Amino acid sequence: MADLNLADPFVRPEEPTAAAAIGAIGDELAVFDDWMDRYGYIIELGRKLPAFPEAWMDDAHRVPGCQSRVWMEAALRGGGLYLAGTSDAAIVSGLIALLLRVYSGRSPREIADTDPVFLKDLGLLEALSTNRGNGIAAMARKIREVAGQ
What's residue 119's pLDDT? 86
Whole-angstrom distance, CA of residue 101 vs CA of residue 104: 6
Cβ–Cβ < 8 Å for 79, 67: no
Active site residue 7: no
Exposure on the CB side of residue 146, measured as CA atoms within 13 A: 24
User: Band of the pLDDT at 149, cuts 50, 70, 90?
Assistant: low
Q: Write out pLDDT tens, residues 30-87.
A: 999 988 999 999 999 999 999 999 999 999 999 987 778 999 999 999 999 999 999 9
Cβ–Cβ < 8 Å for 70, 85: yes
From 25, 42, 49, 66, active-site residue: 66
- Give the mean pLDDT of the chain: 89
Cα 129 versus chain centre, distance:
18
What's residue 67's pLDDT? 78
Is 17's pLDDT higher than 70?
yes
Q: Kindly report the number of other CB atoms within 10 A of residue 111's CB atom.
A: 24
Q: Kindly report the number of other CB atoms within 10 A of residue 15's CB atom.
A: 15
The secondary structure of 36-104 as a DSSP string is HHHHHHHHHHHHTSPPPPGGG-STTTBPTT-SS-EEEEEEEETTEEEEEEEESSHHHHHHHHHHHHHHT
Domain 18-147: CATH class, spelled out: alpha beta
Domain boundaries, the chain: 18-147
What's residue 5's pLDDT? 47
